[in-house]
Amino acid sequence: MRKKSGVNIRDIAKELNLNISTVSRALNRNFLISKDTTELVLSKAREMGYHPELTKKNIIILLPPSNITLEWYGLNIMNALQKKLSRMEYYWEFVNDDKIDIIHERSVSGIISLDFMHRAAVDITQKYNLPLVCINNKSKHMDNVYSVNSDDESAITQAFNCLQGYGHKNIAFIVSSTASFADNQRIAAFEKNVKECNLQDSCTVVSSGSKNTHGIILDLYKRGITGIISDGESAGLKIWNSLNFCNIDIPRQMSLVTWEMPYVSSLINPAITTVAQNFDLIAEKAIYLLEAQFKNIAVTTDEIVPYQLHMRDTVSIPRNF
C-alpha cells in the first residue's frame, strides 16, 4: 500500500502560488471560485495525493457501464453499501464506469468499484491517484487497490455437495457468461469438484449467454442430467422458469440449486434451494478496506466473504435413482 503522503492544503497552495483560502474553497466547490481555478486545484490535489479530512470524504461507488442493466446482484450490493454509508460521516454518489471522468469535477477521496468486468482496477489506478476497493473483481494487488470477494469456490462446493448428497452424479453447471472474474472462479471450482469426484464423463458446464434457455434445459434433460447448478441471482430464476415452461417437474425430474434472490427465492413454489451472498458483510468489509487506506493502516490480504446454503424444496433424489 502507498505510504501516506502527508500532503495538506498549504502544500497545494504553495505549488500553485495561490492563497490557502482559495485552495480550501476550491476543494469544497465554493461558488466564489472560478471553474478554471477549481479544476486546477482539484487536478493538483489528485496529482499530489491529497485527500480531504475524514469527515468531508466523498466516495464514488463505481457501477458497470451505463449500457449494462443492473439486476438483482447489482441492486442488492448498492442497497447494502447505501445503508452502511448512511450511518457514517461520508458523502457518496453512484457513477457509471463510462462516466468516470466526472472525477475531474469532484474532490474525491476513494472509490468502491462494482464493475465486475476486469477494467476498473487497472484503468483507475493509471488515471487517478485514489484508493480503490473492488467488489467481486480482481484487485490485481496493486498499490492502493484491494478487493472484497464472495467465496465462489465454497459456494460451488456447497451446491455440488448438496446435489451429490442426494445421489446426483449427472450435474450441469449453467453460467450466464464467462466474461467476469466471478464466472471464471465458479467454473474452475465446479471443474475441481467434478474431477475430485471422478465425474468428468457425467457432468458438464453450459454457458447460456444469449441462447434460448428453454432449449438448453430440454437438451440437458434428454442427456440424462438430473441436477442443475445455476449461477447468478437473476439467472437462477430464469432456469426455474424454463423448467416449469418445459413441464419438467422440480425436483422429481430435475433438482435445482441457484444463487439466492432475496425476498423471492423463499416465496415462490417450489421454494428454491440456494447459496446466498452476504451483501451486508461485503459492504461492511469494502468500507473497512477503504478506511484502512484513508488512515494508512496496513492491510495484508483481501477480504473473502462466505456464502450460506439455504435448503428448500428444489432438491431431491434423482429420477433414475
Please indicate, yes or no, whether residues 145 and 292 belong to a single structural domain of this protein. Answer: yes
Please indicate, yes or no, whether residues 16 and 102 belong to a single structural domain of this protein. Answer: yes
pTM of the model: 0.80
Please indicate, yes or no, whether residues 203 and 297 belong to a single structural domain of this protein. Answer: no
What mean pLDDT do residues 139-156 have? Answer: 82
Lowest mean pLDDT across 24-28, 58-62, 310-314, 317-321: 24-28
We report the CATH number of the domain holding residue 66 as 3.40.50.2300
Please indicate, yes or no, whether residues 109 and 123 belong to a single structural domain of this protein. Answer: yes
pLDDT at 34: 85
For 85-132, the pLDDT digits (tens) are: 988 878 888 988 888 887 777 778 889 999 876 666 667 777 777 888
Q: How confident is the model at residue 184 (pLDDT cuts 50, 70, 90)?
A: confident
Q: Which of 3, 5, 74, 48 is nearest to 261 (CA)?
A: 74
Please indicate, yes or no, whether residues 202 and 123 belong to a single structural domain of this protein. Answer: no
Q: How confident is the model at residue 286 (pLDDT cuts 50, 70, 90)?
A: very high
pLDDT at 317 over 90: yes
Kindly report the number of other CB atoms within 10 A of residue 168's CB atom.
25
The amino acid at residue 316 is S
For 222-248, the pLDDT digits (tens) are: 999 999 999 888 888 899 999 999 999
What the block records as the C-alpha cell of 79 is: 442497497
Query: Rounded to 5 degrees, what are φ and ψ at 122?
Result: -75, -50
Please indicate, yes or no, whether residues 212 and 299 belong to a single structural domain of this protein. Answer: no
Residue with cell 454509508: 85
Q: Which domain holds residue 240?
A: 152-277
pLDDT at 210 over 70: no
Please indicate, yes or no, whether residues 290 and 181 belong to a single structural domain of this protein. Answer: no
pLDDT at 201: 95
What is the overall mean pLDDT for the chain?
A: 86
Please indicate, yes or no, whether residues 22 and 136 belong to a single structural domain of this protein. Answer: yes
